[in-house]
Amino acid sequence: MLAGFPPVLDQSTRIVILGSFPGAASLTAQQYYAHPRNQFWRLLSAVLNDPFAGLPYEQRLRQLLGHGIGLWDVIALCEREGSLDADIRQAQANDFAVLRHEAPALRRVCFNGKTSGKYAPYFADAGFETLVLPSSSPANAQLSFEEKLAQWKNIIL
């Protein structure tokens, strides 16, 4: 079984972006969205007008938290060959109760793609605002960067 990453949250996190599960490049680097063609950091740079893409990883995380935004994935453990969500097997969800404790200011849960977006009703039923975004993955090539960005701008409260 492959194991995901711990959440990146703090007491002032108002928004969390949930992905599905780290891809192979991210698991190797032990960093969220490490694949060089994944548009995640570029999208957030444009949305927040903050140059995340050129910063060291730990600084990216600190600055993201400074904007009140946290990161995590919906899946804690799974089996998968490669990086495609379609290849995920034996998925075990994260314990989302952690969010209420570690991020008491949390109001909005955004989902990076359709796989993680399947969890939106759970969070909506728990009283959170939810937003399913087009995946930042290089495998999601049907939308241009600009088309994705237009939807990602809705992250901001």
Give the 3-state secondary structure of the chain: CEECCCCECCCCCCEEEEECCCCHHHHHHCCCCCCCCCCHHHHHHHHHCCCHHHCCHHHHHHHHHHCCEEEEECEEEEECCCCCHHHCEEEEECCCHHHHHHCCCCCEEEEECHHHHCCHHHHHHCCCEEEEECCCCCCCCCCCHHHHHHHHHHHCC
Is 38 catalytic? The answer is: yes
Catalytic option among 38, 94, 112, 154: 38
Name the residues annotated as catalytic.
Answer: 38
